Amino acid sequence: MNEPSHLVLEDGTVFTGRAFGAEADAHGEVVFTTSMTGYQEALTDPSFAGQILMMTYPLQGNYGVSGFDAESDRVQARGFVVREACDLPSHWRSEGTLHDYLASAGIPAIQGIDTRALTRKIRSGGVMMGAITREEPETAIAWLREAQRYDGSDFVQEVTTPDGFSWAEPERQQYHIAVLDLGVKHNILRILRSFGSRATVVPSTTSADDILALKPDGIVLSPGPGDPALLDYAVATAKALVGKVPIFGICLGHQVLARAWGAKSYKLKYGHRGANHPVREEATGRVSITAQNHGYAMDPDGLPSEIEVSHVHLNDGTCEGLRHRELPIITIQYHSEASPGPHDDRYLFERFLGLIKEVRTP
């Protein structure tokens, strides 16, 4: 800990700071999130697989880490970049420091760099590949340029459950939900449970028939990492599920469904990552503040007429949600499960469960 370390970017930029976390090197796509809290939730969010995560808020690790705040069973980001990591955290729930947590997860991290300068660089140049390294920066830049690029990789295969699992059952069960795990966050399962639903999580390559064989009342296509254009298998599954049961596509799940309906994806310059993204629901005109984490977006042009854009991002007008006019299918581009982020969007889960109810009580 504390020895000199570098963050190098593929364009040759070098930031020098101090190491913490694991004594290792790592590379990945360098992205930033503006969420001011929830570093542990972010680190364990499978959607950050393949990426080096940088927090724009300078003080991280203040309240330590705890089993309570994990969103999956491991740290998913490949590296962590902060202005300052707290080594004496304070919270009654804390079980350890950020440093120890990352060290035991094998994830290297760097602190003491001008993270705002890095953010400005990414904002103007777009996301790029980078590495956290203790080697000479020039050496690292050389191997970074040869390394596997983020864009061409299917990270869903790295994060999905190998065999599937069931989440703790609610006390009074109402519905059974199958969750296609493209990189699910535990909070989706917690929220489903809080609304009385039993969740069965299945691997990302599970076929539609196998999913329907579980006799679910509804299906959630989960969020997850990477480029939806690489996920033909999941798109095929989604196509086969449409029209069978109510479906809720969240984030990558939204993108997969949109592809199933014929929409194309494109990469955003530096993505949407943070807990302050304003999204307007077109039906009500009401804006809610959402938690977001996606580097790709869907172009709604070319969607069939039965699909309407239900939600729009206020800042850049991108598509943030879709709704099937006839079938009980809704999608949302952001993380309606929050964690980290505002709890304004639980209504979407209620709406999804409402759709199930309508189907079940004709």
Partner 1 sequence: MDKPSKVLIVGSGPIVIGQAAEFDYAGAQACKAMREEGVTSVLVNSNPATIMTDEGVADIVYIEPLTVDVISRIIERERPDGLLPTLGGQTALNLAVDLADAGVLDRFDIRMLGTPLEAIRQAEDRALFRQLLDEIGEPTPESEIVTTLDAARDVAERMGLPLVVRPAYTLGGTGGGIASTRTELEEIVAKGLAASPISQVLLERSLLGWKEIEYEVMRDGADTCITICNMENFDPMGVHTGDSIVVAPSQTLTDKEYQMLRTASLKIIRALGVEGGCNVQLALAPRQEVSDWDAPDGEGDPPYFVIEVNPRVSRSSALASKATGYPIARVAAKIAVGRRLDEIPNAVTQKTTAAFEPALDYVVAKIPRWPFDKFPLGERLLGTQMKATGEVMAIDRSFEAAIQKAVRSLEQGGRSLLWEDPAWKTEELQKVKWAATDDRLWRLMAALRRDADPLDLSKKTGVDPWFLQKLARIIAMEHRLLEEPLTPDLLRGAKRMGFSDEQIGVLADELPERVRVRRQEMGIKPVYKMVDTCAAEFEAATPYFYSTYEEENEASPLQGSKALVIGSGPIRIGQGIEFDYCSVHAVWALQEAGYHALIVNSNPETVSTDFDTSDRLYFEPLDEESVRDILDNETADANGSAPPTIVQFGGQTAINLAHPLHVADMPIIGSSAEAIDVAEDRSRFEEFLSKLGIPQPPGAAVTSVEDALKTAAVIDYPVLVRPSYVLGGRAMEIVQNDDELSLYAAAAAEAGPGRPILVDKYLEGREVEVDAVCDGEQVLIPGIMEHIERAGVHSGDSMAVYPPINLTDAEINTVVDYTQRIGLALEVRGLMNIQYVIVRSGESSDVYVIEVNPRSSRTVPFISKVTSVPMVRLATHVMLGRSLAEQGWTGGLQPKQQLVAVKAPAFSMSKLSGVDTYLGPEMKSTGEAMGVDETFSAALAKALVSAELALPAEGAVLLSIADRYKEEAEPIIRRLVEAGFRLYATEGTAAMIDGLGLPVEQITKKLREGHPNVVDVIRDGTVDGVINVPEGRMTGTLRDGFHFRRAAAVGRIPCFTSLDTARAAVDALLAGGQAYTIKPLSAYLT
- Which residue of 289, 309, 327, 359 would you call a contact of partner 1, by CB under 8 A? 289
Alpha carbon distance 41, 48 (integer Å):
11
Q: Which of 6, 176, 254, 335 is catalytic?
A: 335
Structure token digits, residue 188 = 């989706």
- Identify whether 91 is a catalytic site residue: no
Minimum CB–partner distance for residue 256 and partner 1 (Å): 26
- Which residue of 27, 83, 176, 323 would you call a contact of partner 1, by CB under 8 A? 83
Alpha carbon distance 295, 311 (integer Å):
18
- Which residue of 204, 288, 293, 318 would you call a contact of partner 1, by CB under 8 A? 288
Cβ atoms of 34 and 14 closer than 8 Å: no
Q: Which of 6, 27, 29, 251 is catalytic?
A: 251
# binding residues, partner 1 (CB under 8 A): 57
Alpha carbon distance 64, 17 (integer Å):
21
Q: Which of residues 329-348 bind partner 1 (CB under 8 A)?
A: 338-344
Q: List residues bridging with 110 in a β-sheet.
A: 19, 81
Q: Which helix (H) or strand (E) holds 189?
A: helix 186-194
Task: Name residue 259's amino acid.
Answer: R
Closest CA relative to residue 289, chosen from 342, 347, 333? 342
Alpha carbon distance 98, 108 (integer Å):
11
Alpha carbon distance 54, 321 (integer Å):
27
Cβ atoms of 261 and 247 closer than 8 Å: no
Contact letters for partner 1, residues 249-278 (x by CB under 8 A): -------------------------xxxxx
- Identify whether 335 is a catalytic site residue: yes
Residue 84 in contact with partner 1, rule: CB under 8 A = yes
Contact letters for partner 1, residues 13-52 (x by CB under 8 A): -------------------x-xxxxx--x-----------
Cβ atoms of 307 and 276 closer than 8 Å: no
Q: Which of residues 139-178 bind partner 1 (CB under 8 A)?
A: none
- Identify whether 251 is a catalytic site residue: yes
Name the residue nearer to partner 1 (CB basis): 219 or 275. Answer: 275
- The site for partner 1 (CB under 8 A) is made up of 32, 34-38, 41, 56-59, 62-63, 68-69, 83-84, 86, 88-93, 114-117, 119-120, 123, 187, 190-191, 193-194, 274-278, 280, 284-289, 314-315, 338-344
Active site residues: 251, 335, 337
